Structure formats: C-alpha cells, structure tokens
C-alpha cells in the first residue's frame, strides 16, 4: 500500500500530466498512475451465487479503487468468471450488494450499468466492419454522428488499427480483433472495464504483446478495470492488485509482489509460481531445515512442517571439501532456458528444483556435487 | 498487509485452503433480471412445444381414429388392424399389393444401404486421404440430388430403366434401389462427413498401414468402428428416404410401400390409414433412435474440482516441486 | 441446370480412356509424359467408382432431360418441343406451381422460424428437443403420401376435425377442401414448417451468447439486439431457408398426387401425365421440356441460395 503511493510520488514528477509512465521500464504492479477525478470505484459486498447445489461465489467481497486494475486469478471453477459476470449484470446473485461509486446497482439490469465488457472471443459483431462495431456501441449511448466518427478514429488510432476500419472481423487476426474489442470498450468511456480472459485465445507471443498494450491503455485512460485470467504471469504483469480465488472465495488479495513473495496460505503459495517442499522445524520466527534456516511468513505453522521454498531462493554452489554432507547433492537435471537455468539436485531422497541465472549456471555440470543453501527470503511453512 | 482486502481466507491448521464447498439450500435469486428473462424464455418455449406437439399429434391421431372408425357409418372396429396383422394370407387378398409393396420397400432399404455404404464410404475416405483434390467435387455431386427434383430425375431415368428392365436385369421393383442411392446421397454424405471430420482419419490410417494392415483391414477394423454412429445415422436416414419414396416408383410404374398405400387407399382406405400411421410412427422411431445413438457423446466435462488438483500433501513430500 | 455442364466437363477431364474425350495426350507426347499421365490417373483412380455410379444414375438422366428437350422426334436438334410447350396451359401450370411454392414457403418460413427459435433455447441434449426435431425430420422429408392420408383422415368429408368442428362450433369444412388449392396449401404448409425448423435451427444456434451479452453490457436492450445484431445476422440465413422451402414445394409431387386425381394443376403432375401418356409419344418431349423448365427455376433459386450461403460463411470466424 505504502509502496504503491511511494512509487506514485516518485514517478509523478517524471511522468506526463496524467501520471502515465511507459510500461517498458517499470515492472509488476508498481506502475505509477494517478486516477483521473472521474474514475469510478467498485465494491462487491458479500456476494453469494449458487446454482442448485453448487456454490459459485461464497460471501465474496472485493473493493476496486478508482482507476485501479484488479485481476481475478484462480483455477477453473473457482468462481472468477461468475464474479465478473455478476458485476456486469450478466449473472444474477443470490445475496450481496454491488456498488458503483457507492450507488447500489445490484438490481439494475446489465444494460443500465454503464460498463463495457471484452470477451475471450467473439466479442465483435461479425456482420459489422471494425468502424461499424465501434459506432454501433457509441450509437447505443446516443452519441451524435459527428462525434461518433471522431471518437472511432481516435480509438482505432490508439490501438493502431486505423487502416483496418473497413475490414470485417473475420479478416483480422485474433490479436487484432481483441484490440478492436478493447478500443470499442474504451471508446464508450465506461465506469468499469471488464475483461473475461481476453488473452486466453491468442498465441503466446501475441499474448505478451497485447498484455502490455492493454495495461498501457488502461493506465492512460485511467479506467477502473477488473479482469479474469487463469494465467499467473498475465495477472502478475498487468494488475495493480491480484485476487487469488478458490472455490468461490478470495484466498488472498494484494499487489503482485505480495502475492508472490508473501503468500498467506498453502494454496496461494502452490498456485502461484513454483515451490519446493523442504521438511524442517519451525520455532519462533524461523524454520530450520537441512539446508539452512529461513524466516517464516505469517500464517505458517509451528513445530514440524514443510517449508515451501521458491526455486530462485535456492542457492547452488559447487561442493567444496568442507561442506556438511546434509547439504550436498548431485545435479540430476540441468535445463538451460535462455535467461535462467533450471537445476534439479538430488539430496538423499529429496529432489530440489532450483533456478539460477544462466551465467551462474555455466559452471554447474550434470552429475557434479553441489551444496544447496536457502536464501534469506521468508517462506511459508505448512 | 493489504488494506484493500476485506476478506482473506486462512484455512485450517496447515494453511491449506481445504474447506468443503458450502452447500446452501436453493437460495432465492435476488430480483434477478437474468432469471426473469430465462423464465420468460422457458415459458415461451413451452407454449411453442405444446402447440407444435398438438399440431404434430393431430394428424397421427386422426389416422388412428380413421383406421378404426368406418367413415361412413361411424362403426368402430379393428378390422383394418386385424387385416394388417394377419399378414400375407389368402383371406385378405386385397392386401396382396400392400405386402408386395412393403416387401419391395424393405428389400430396397437393404440394397440401398449396402450400395450406399460400399460406394460412399471408401470414396469419402479416399478423398480425405488424397488431399483436397476431389473433395469439392464429391460434395457438390452428393448435394446435387437435393436440388434436382425427383420428378425431373425420373424423366431422365425412364430410358435408363427401360434398358435395365429389358436388357440388363429384370423389371422387378427392387432395382429402383440404384436410383434410390442417388436420392439418399445428400443425407448420407452429410452424416458420414460429420463422422469422418470428428476423427483424425489420416493418423489412424497411417498408423494402421505402418503396421502392415491391408486396406480392407484398415477400412473394416480401423475406420468403421470409429465412425459407427455416423454410419448408423446415414443408414437410418437412407431407410427413411426409401420407405417414404413415392415419386420415382410411381412414375416408373413400380410397386413400393408408398405406391401400394396409394392404391390400397382406393379400395380400403382404413387399412391405408392404419398402414400410414405405422409407417410414420416407425420412421419417427427410426430417427429418434438414430439421434440417440449419434448423440451419445459425453456431456460437457464438469468443471475441474480445484481441491482435487491442489490437494495438500497428507504426508511430507520427499521430492519434486510442481 | 447451369452447373451441370461444368461437372460434365470436369467429368470428362477426369475420366480415363473409357470415353476417349479430354485427357488424350498430345500426339507428340514423349514416353515420360505419358507415364506421368498414367501415374496421375492411377492416383486418381479412387474416384472412379463413385464417378461412374453417379455418372450413370444422376448426371446421365439430367443430360438426357436437357438434351431431350431440344431433340426432335427424329433425333436432330429442334426447338419444336419447346415451341409446343410454350402455350397458355403450360404457363398457367408453372404459375400455379410458383405461387403455391411461394405462399407455402413464406408461411412455412415465418412460422417455422418461431418454432426454430423456441427449439434453440432448449439445451441441445434435451429429450423433448430431440424428439421434436426427429418428428420434424419425418414430416419434412419423408412424409408425402402419408401426410396426405393423414389430412384426409383429419379434414376429409368424414374426418376427425371436420366432425369436431361441426359438432363443437357448427363450422362446416367444405367437403372438397382437400382437393382444392386451399387444401393443398394447407398440407404443403404442414411439411414446409418442419423443413424450416430443421434448416433454421442451426442458424439460430449459431447466434453466439457473447454477441447478446456484448450488446447488453454496452447498454443495448433486447430490442437493440434483435434489430441491429440478431436480425441482420439471421436475415441471410432466413432468406436462404425461404429459398429452400420454395424449391422444396416447387418440386413436391407425392402430396398433390395423393390428394388430387384427374387433374394436373402443378408442374410435377403435368410431367407425370406426360410420361404416363402412352398414346402420344410426343409427350415424352413435353415431359422433358417441363422438366427442363423445372431445372431452370430450381437452378436460379439454388444459385441465389449459394450466393447467400457464401455471404454468411464469410462471417463464420
């Protein structure tokens, strides 16, 4: 929370008047942005949604600050899409309240909620050209013809598709279609921008590129946004805050760094990134394992436990002669991945997966003996 | 930690989120706009169903009623049905024509289906395997009979069948099957095309051939078992076409079920009504069974139960990360 | 049919030495090119059985009809057959068939599309939907004579509904209803509607839920959706189905034959009477001209249909 504000203050001076900083050099959630005064706040309060015997959302609550982009992340069936659709008004709710700008919209039908949604696929009307797709929604909002034309031009330009205005959706690639869908959503200046797995249907490379573009557009326009994804990387890269969901509830919500580095439950620790299960004993604020001791995160158990250590927090050195036997292992697998190397070390009956920068991995040889140590990063013990 | 979060779950002891899915009793939906729309839609659908079923049932019911109620006097008896179920006996020689027509039609069902399968299946498999070269041609030819009316076809078939009746084969009605194969092409093509599309034909065939299977084996033991549904569908549809065919038989002066019904109507309309009902009912059952067989596909997969994928380790896991 | 000559042309090109047309290598062919030619043929041999069979029983009859319409009795080319056929009676028959097809197509399309929409709202696996679809299939495509009998049982002189209407509402159904045009229209509608349902349900199914939800999330009402999205998307399919219904009714024979005797008021029946007329062998030519006329009408209809299909196929993403 404080880190976010600090970052905002830091870069506000260097960023443009709307606080928009280029996405290239800024990582994760710490992008500076100042929400324009007219951005909307969203609150979902104690939402419950059941389908017969199945509970999709169970007492689900979420607040989205004006101008913020929140990601709902979770495995299939966790309720993230239901939550998004409930906010959009496309799903009914059994209990709870939905507030936009502190106004109760729970009983409002979808078409009165002043939002805009981008779907995974088939967002665009197939029988309309790109330009017509945009003008169609602007017409619904009763915007005059002249303004429609200029708004359409502006937003198509923003996504770099001005040359395709007269094309039909089937003439565009998947990435282009999604760009049009996003331009269309932004063009109506909605209170909330909703995205339902917008990148899932695209190729990997297009996905990464579009990810940054969507984020940049959202920041520039300052619109409050909620998006759903099952791709962790996407969630961590795009959102201001990530809500990890499980079985209709939020397991943990926080900035991407918090989610990744300070998971509060085993589910979140395992769901995000990778972990090694290392047995150890917890006493006080530390866990002692065969490979060293680490501080433990709040939410850890005490006594005998499994410490969940991330691969990048495993330090590997070629074994010197004086190394204690319990920390020595043999490299069983070595996978060079370009920028990093993934190394699997067998210590006794445990297989430890470590991730080292590629250049450090240059002196590691398959079959050689190495010492395994744990870095001083806090870990969860379960 | 995060002041935004108003709801954070801390699971039981070991930090794992393993609460069971809360099962609430069917809670009422809150003034749901979507639910209201769905209700309206369901009501509309039910009304339409009701009206359609009524409209479809009335002709059938009338047929049955007609068959038991002598039209002029109103006397009700099961004479017509008795005649039918007596089968081919000397007692009701007036029905001989009907049995002849029925027998012919049933034989033609068989012949047509056999010819259709033997002709169409290898061809379609071959076309799919040898690239796209002839696929549009085959598709076009197979859909052509939909657009060439039977009456038109029969004008051109008359001289051909004259030759067949006199010089090549005899004048028995069952040789109509040759022409019937053409009539069933569109239905069979569509059904088998759907079936072949659904399997990875090239890979199956290449795999079988690489193990040394002969083409016959490939066809009978590899392809056919995998498209059984489509083959059944094509066969049943073909039977339905053959049983209901009237135009060719009439204009080429052959006896089949429909022409026999037509003739019998002139002498004993109640039997005609009873037989029509049976034929309609049978064809409907044929199609319903076919549909059930075709669509025995598994239902949409249930959503993954996350607890099964992210099961907390019951004991300490000695190795492996995720 | 305008498309048939093309396939005949293609047929010739693909045929082996059998007919001796097309495919004959140039006189100065080297042994190499004739070998590749033979190899190409044997590669394509798989199409032969299908080709031969449909050639004899589908293409040949069609060719005979077309050629026969232009052949004089002594075998030479002649337009006599056509001249003979172009009289008021033929025109009347074609006209009757045309408006019969048009009326029943329009009624069938409108009513059928409503039923199709209702069916599409049901989940695809639902039993009622499948049974209704199967029964529609039977009525639409395999019903002919049996449907006619059913109508006689319903609305004939002693029909069930006739008696019901008389006793309940004192309404008298005209006794010759079924052998009149009105009766035929009624029976035709009875198989046109199911055909529309079968043909149109896939189109309605193709309306993706995302389109409706997009419209709603942007502020459009159901009315907006139907006017600006579903309507324009379904319109070509609707028109295409309408054309199919027209072609279907135009070609229908069995139903009319079962209801009407001693009259030839529609083209198929005229063809029948021409074929069966053993007294006057000139009638064969007449039948062929009528058949040619039908081919032309249907060809136009199907060309329009194909154009519409191509237009909507573009939209499939």
In a domain, A137, yes or no: no
DSSP B63-126: HHHHHHB-TTT--B--HHHHHHHH-S-STTGGGHHHHHHHHHHHHHHHHHHHHHHHHHHHHHHH
Average pLDDT, whole number, for chain C?
A: 80
Domain boundary (A261, A284, A300) is at: A261
The stretches of chain B forming alpha helices (DSSP H) are: 33-68, 79-86, 96-129, 135-147, 150-163, 177-198, 201-210, 215-217, 224-226, 228-244, 247-251, 257-267, 269-294, 306-309
Nearest one of B124, B63, B127 to B275, comparing CA atoms = B63
pLDDT band for B233, please (50, 70, 90 cuts): confident
Do A212 and A90 sit in the same domain of this protein?
Answer: yes
Angle separating helix axes B177-198 and B150-163, nearest 10 degrees: 120
pLDDT value of position A63: 94
pLDDT tops 70 at residue C86: yes
Look-up: residue for tokens 């470590």? Answer: A354
Residue in chain B nearest A262 by alpha carbon: B1
Q: CB contact, 8 Å: A291 with chain B? A: no
* pLDDT the model gives residue B314: 53
In chain C, the residue whose alpha carbon lies closest to the alpha carbon of B121 is C50
CA A325/CA A290 separation, integer angstroms: 10
| CATH for B95-294, options being 3.40.640.10, 3.50.50.60, 1.10.3720.10, 3.30.70.1230 | 1.10.3720.10
What crossing angle do the helices spanning C282-315 and C88-120 adopt, rounded to 10°? 30
How many CB atoms within 10 Å of residue B295?
Answer: 12
Of A206, A226, A261, the position where a domain reaches its end is A261
Which chains reach chain C with 3 or more Cβ–Cβ distances below 8 angstroms? A, B
SS3 content of chain A, % helix, strand, coil (to 5): 30, 30, 35
Question: Are A88 and A230 members of one domain?
Answer: yes
Among the listed residues B305, B292, B4, B137, the one whose alpha carbon sits nearest the alpha carbon of residue A66? B4
Pick the residue from chain B with its C-alpha nearest to C288: B155
DSSP code, position C71: B
Q: Which residue of C has its CA nearest to B292?
A: C130
* Cβ–Cβ gap C149/B265 under 8 Å: yes
Q: With contacts defined as CB-CB under 8 Å, which chain B residues touch A52?
A: 26
Residue B123: pLDDT above 60?
yes
CA A14/CA B119 separation, integer angstroms: 76
> Is A124 among the domain residues?
no
Q: Which residue of C has its CA nearest to B58?
A: C154
For chain B, what are the domain ranges?
31-77, 95-294
Partner residues linked to A285 by β-bridges: none
User: What's the half-sphere exposure (Cβ side, CA atoms, 13 Å) at C155?
Assistant: 19
Tell me if A345 is assigned to some domain: yes
Q: A110 and A257, same structural domain?
A: yes
pLDDT tens for B244-289 read 899 999 888 898 999 998 888 888 888 888 888 888 888 888 888 8
Instruction: List CB contacts (< 8 A) between A109 and chain C.
Output: 216
Kindly state the helix (H) or strand (E) to which residue A55 belongs, with its residue range: strand A54-64
Chain A residues near residue B316 by CB distance under 8 angstroms: 277, 279, 306
B8: pLDDT strictly greater than 70: no
pLDDT value of residue B93: 66
Instruction: Write the CATH number for A231.
Output: 3.40.50.300
Q: Do B14 and A74 lie within an 8 Å CB cutoff?
A: no
Q: Which residues of C touch A123 (CB under 8 A)?
A: 210, 214
End-to-end CA distance of chain C: 32
With beta carbons less than 8 A apart as the criterion, state whether C287 and C229 touch. Answer: no
pLDDT in tens, B205-223: 999 989 988 888 888 888 9
Nearest CA in chain B to C191: B56
Q: Tell me how close the Cα of A122 comes to any Cα of chain C, in angstroms.
A: 6
Q: Are residues A251 and A289 in the same domain?
A: no
d(CA A193, CA A64): 12
Do both A226 and A356 map to the same domain? Answer: no
Q: Are strands A42-51 and A224-229 parallel, antiparallel or unpaired?
A: unpaired
Angle between helical axes of B228-244 and B257-267 (0-180°, round to 10): 30
- Cα–Cα distances (Å) from C28 to C23, C41, C294, in that order, read 14, 19, 46
Rounded to 10°, the helix B33-68/C88-120 angle is 130
pLDDT tens series, chain A, 382 aa = 333 334 334 433 333 333 333 333 334 444 444 555 688 999 999 999 998 888 899 999 999 999 999 999 999 888 899 999 999 999 988 999 999 999 999 988 888 898 999 999 989 999 999 999 999 999 998 889 999 999 999 999 999 999 999 999 999 999 999 999 999 999 999 999 999 999 999 999 999 999 999 999 999 999 999 999 999 999 999 999 999 999 999 999 999 999 999 999 999 999 999 999 999 999 988 999 988 889 999 888 888 999 999 999 998 888 877 778 788 889 999 988 888 999 999 988 889 999 998 887 778 888 888 889 899 999 999 9
Check whether residue A291 and residue A365 sit in a common domain. Answer: yes
Q: Which chains touch A (3 or more CB pairs under 8 A)?
A: B, C
Question: How many Cα atoms are found within 13 Å in the side-chain-facing hemisphere of A354?
Answer: 30
Q: Does C298 touch chain B (CB under 8 A)?
A: yes
Secondary structure class of A162 (helix, strand, coil): helix
Residues A237 and A356 grouped into a single domain? no
- Residue A379 pairs with which residues in a beta bridge? A296
Query: Does one domain contain both A370 and A234?
Result: no
pLDDT of residue C242: 94
Q: Is residue A366 part of a domain?
A: yes
**pLDDT score of C281:** 61
pLDDT in tens, B170-207: 878 888 999 999 999 988 998 898 888 888 888 999 99
Rounded to whole angstroms, the Cα distance separating A153 from A134 reads 10
- Asked if residues A70 and A254 have their Cβ atoms less than 8 Å apart, the reply is no
State the total domains in chain A: 2
B4/chain A closest Cα distance in angstroms: 7
The strands making up A314-318's β-sheet, listed across from edge to edge, are A314-318, A369-374, A328-336, A340-347, A350-357
Residue B280: how many other CB atoms lie within 10 Å: 24
Nearest-CA distance from C315 to chain A in Å?
A: 5
- Are residues C47 and B182, on separate chains, in Cβ contact within 8 Å? no
Q: Which residues of C touch B38 (CB under 8 A)?
A: none
Which range among B6-15, C22-31, C298-307 has the greatest average pLDDT? C298-307
> Rounded to an integer, what is the distance from CA C38 to the centroid of its chain?
40
Given an 8 Å threshold on Cβ–Cβ distance, is B320 in contact with A353? yes
Residue C168 — very low, low, confident or very high, per pLDDT cuts 50/70/90?
Answer: confident
Q: Check CB contact under 8 Å for B291 and C133.
A: yes
User: Is residue B19 over pLDDT 70?
Assistant: no
Q: Does C121 touch chain B (CB under 8 A)?
A: yes
Find how far residue B163's CA is from the centre of its chain. Answer: 35
Residue scoring higher pLDDT (C35 or A90): A90
Please indicate, yes or no, whether residues A19 and A105 belong to a single structural domain of this protein.
Answer: yes
Contact A55, B21 (CB under 8 A): yes
Contacts of A78 in chain B (CB under 8 A): 306
* Average confidence (pLDDT) over C190-200: 90
Q: Which residues of B touch A48 (CB under 8 A)?
A: 24, 27
In a domain, A121, yes or no: no
Q: Which residue has the higher pLDDT, C262 or C191?
A: C191
Instruction: Please report which confidence band the pLDDT of residue B30 belongs to, taking 50, 70 and 90 as the band edges.
Output: low
Write out chain C residues lying below 8 Å of B59, CB-based: 147, 150-151, 153-154, 190
How does DSSP classify residue A325?
G
Domain match, A219 and A302 both: no
Q: Is A168 close to C315, i.e. CB distance below 8 A?
A: yes
Residue A15's domain comprises 8-114+190-261
Domain boundary among A261, A295, A311: A261
Is A129 a member of any domain? no
Q: Looking at the domain assignment, is residue A299 inside a domain?
A: yes
Q: What is the pLDDT of residue A149?
A: 92
Asked whether the beta carbons of residue C217 and residue A140 sit closer than 8 angstroms, the reply is no
C50/B119 Cβ within 8 A: yes
Of B47 and C28, more confident: B47
Structure ipTM? 0.78
Tens of pLDDT, residue by residue over B299-308, are 455 555 554 5
pLDDT for B105? 92
CA distance A105 to chain C (A): 14
- How many angstroms separate the CA of residue B307 from the nearest CA in chain C? 29
Pair A245, A195 in one domain:
yes
- Asked if the Cβ–Cβ distance from B317 to A311 is below 8 Å, we say no
CB contact under 8 A, C154 and B59: yes
Tell me if A97 sits within 8 A of A104, measured CB to CB.
Answer: yes
* pLDDT tens digits for range B34-75: 788 888 888 999 999 898 888 888 888 888 888 888 777 777
């Amino acid at each position: 929370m404080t880190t976010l504000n600090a970052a905002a203050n830091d870069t506000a001076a260097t960023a443009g008047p709307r606080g928009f900083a280029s996405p290239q050099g800024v990582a994760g959630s710490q992008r500076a942005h100042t929400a324009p005064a007219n951005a909307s706040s969203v609150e979902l309060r104690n939402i419950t949604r059941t389908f017969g015997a199945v509970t999709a959302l169970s007492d689900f609550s979420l607040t989205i600050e004006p101008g913020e982009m929140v990601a709902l992340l979770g495995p299939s069936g966790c309720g993230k899409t239901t939550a998004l659709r409930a906010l959009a008004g496309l799903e009914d709710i059994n209990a709870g309240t939905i507030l936009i700008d502190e106004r109760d919209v729970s009983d409002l039908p979808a078409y009165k909620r002043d939002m805009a949604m981008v779907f995974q696929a088939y967002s665009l009307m197939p029988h309309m050209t790109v330009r017509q797709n945009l003008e169609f929604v602007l017409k619904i909002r009763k915007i005059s013809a002249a303004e429609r034309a200029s708004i359409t031009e502006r937003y198509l330009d923003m996504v770099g598709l001005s040359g395709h205005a007269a094309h039909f959706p089937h003439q565009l690639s998947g990435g282009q279609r999604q760009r049009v869908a996003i331009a269309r959503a932004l063009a109506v200046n909605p209170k909330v921008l909703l995205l339902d797995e917008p990148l899932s249907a695209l190729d990997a490379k297009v996905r990464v590129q579009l990810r940054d573009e969507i984020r940049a557009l959202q920041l520039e326009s300052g619109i409050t946004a909620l998006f759903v994804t099952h791709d962790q990387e996407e969630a961590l890269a795009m959102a201001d805050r990530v809500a990890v969901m499980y079985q209709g509830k939020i397991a943990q919500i926080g900035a991407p760094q918090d989610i990744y580095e300070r998971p509060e439950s085993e589910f979140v620790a395992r769901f995000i990134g990778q972990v090694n299960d290392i047995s150890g004993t917890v006493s006080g604020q530390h866990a002692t394992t065969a490979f060293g001791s680490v501080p433990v995160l709040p939410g850890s158990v005490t006594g005998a436990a499994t410490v969940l250590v991330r691969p990048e927090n495993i330090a590997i050195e070629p074994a010197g002669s004086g190394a204690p036997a319990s920390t020595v292992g043999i490299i069983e697998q070595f996978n060079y991945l370009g920028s990093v190397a993934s190394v699997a070390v067998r210590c006794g009956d445990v297989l430890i997966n470590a991730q080292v920068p590629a250049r450090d991995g240059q002196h590691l040889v398959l079959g050689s003996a190495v010492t395994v140590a744990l870095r001083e990063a806090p870990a969860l013990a379960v | 930690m995060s002041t935004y979060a108003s709801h954070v779950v801390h699971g039981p002891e070991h930090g794992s989120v393993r609460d069971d899915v809360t099962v609430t009793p069917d809670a009422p939906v809150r003034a749901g706009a979507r639910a209201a729309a769905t209700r309206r839609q369901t009501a509309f659908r039910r009304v339409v169903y009701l009206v359609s079923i009524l409209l479809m049932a009335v002709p059938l019911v009338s047929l049955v009623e007609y068959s038991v109620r002598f039209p002029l006097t109103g006397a009700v008896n099961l004479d017509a049905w008795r005649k039918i179920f007596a089968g081919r006996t000397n007692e009701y020689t007036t029905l001989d024509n009907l049995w002849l027509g029925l027998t012919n039609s049933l034989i033609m069902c068989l012949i047509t289906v056999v010819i259709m399968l033997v002709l169409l299946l290898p061809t379609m498999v071959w076309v799919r395997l040898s690239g796209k070269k002839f696929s549009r041609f085959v598709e076009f030819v197979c859909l052509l009979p939909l657009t060439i009316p039977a009456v038109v076809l029969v004008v051109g078939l008359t001289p051909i069948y004259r030759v067949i009746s006199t010089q090549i084969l005899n004048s028995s009605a069952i040789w109509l099957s040759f022409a019937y194969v053409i009539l069933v092409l569109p239905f069979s093509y569509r059904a088998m095309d759907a079936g072949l599309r659904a399997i990875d034909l090239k890979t199956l065939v290449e795999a079988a051939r690489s193990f040394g299977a002969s083409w016959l084996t490939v066809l009978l033991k590899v392809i056919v078992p995998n498209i059984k549904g489509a083959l059944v569908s094509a066969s049943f549809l073909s039977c339905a076409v053959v049983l209901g065919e009237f135009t060719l038989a009439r204009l080429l002066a052959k006896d089949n079920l429909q022409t026999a019904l037509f003739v019998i109507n002139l002498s004993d309309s109640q039997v005609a009504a009873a037989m029509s009902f049976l034929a309609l009912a049978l064809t409907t059952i044929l199609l319903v069974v076919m549909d059930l067989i075709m669509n025995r596909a598994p239902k949409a997969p249930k959503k993954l139960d996350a607890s099964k994928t992210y099961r907390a380790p019951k004991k300490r896991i000695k190795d492996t990360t995720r | 049919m305008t498309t048939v000559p093309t396939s005949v042309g293609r047929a010739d090109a693909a045929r082996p030495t059998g007919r001796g047309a097309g495919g004959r290598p140039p006189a100065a062919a080297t042994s190499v090119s004739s070998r590749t030619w033979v190899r190409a043929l044997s590669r394509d041999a798989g199409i032969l059985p299908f080709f031969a069979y449909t050639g004899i029983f589908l293409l040949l009859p069609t060719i005979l009809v077309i050629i026969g319409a232009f052949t004089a009795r002594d075998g030479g080319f002649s337009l006599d057959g056509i001249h003979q056929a172009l009289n008021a009676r033929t025109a009347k028959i074609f006209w009757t068939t045309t408006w019969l097809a048009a009326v029943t197509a329009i009624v069938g399309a409108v009513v059928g599309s409503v039923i199709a929409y209702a069916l599409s709202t049901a989940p695809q696996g639902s039993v009622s939907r499948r049974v209704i679809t199967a029964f529609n299939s039977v009525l639409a495509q395999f019903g002919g004579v049996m449907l006619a009998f059913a109508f006689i049982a319903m609305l004939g002189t002693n029909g069930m509904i006739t008696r019901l209407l008389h006793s309940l509402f004192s309404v008298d159904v005209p006794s010759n209803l079924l052998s009149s045009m009105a009766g035929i229209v009624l029976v035709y509608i009875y198989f046109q509607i199911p055909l529309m349902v079968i043909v149109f349900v896939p189109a309605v199914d193709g309306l993706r839920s995302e389109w409706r939800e997009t419209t709603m999330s942007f502020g459009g009402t159901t009315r907006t959706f139907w006017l600006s999205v579903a309507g324009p998307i379904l319109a070509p399919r609707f028109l295409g189905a309408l054309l199919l219904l027209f072609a279907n009714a135009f070609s229908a024979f069995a139903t009319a034959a079962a209801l009407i005797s001693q009259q030839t008021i529609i083209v198929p029946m005229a063809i029948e009477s021409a074929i069966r007329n053993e007294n006057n062998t000139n009638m064969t030519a007449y039948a062929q001209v009528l058949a040619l006329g039908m081919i032309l009408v249907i060809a136009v209809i199907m060309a329009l249909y194909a154009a519409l299909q191509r237009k909507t196929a573009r939209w499939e993403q």
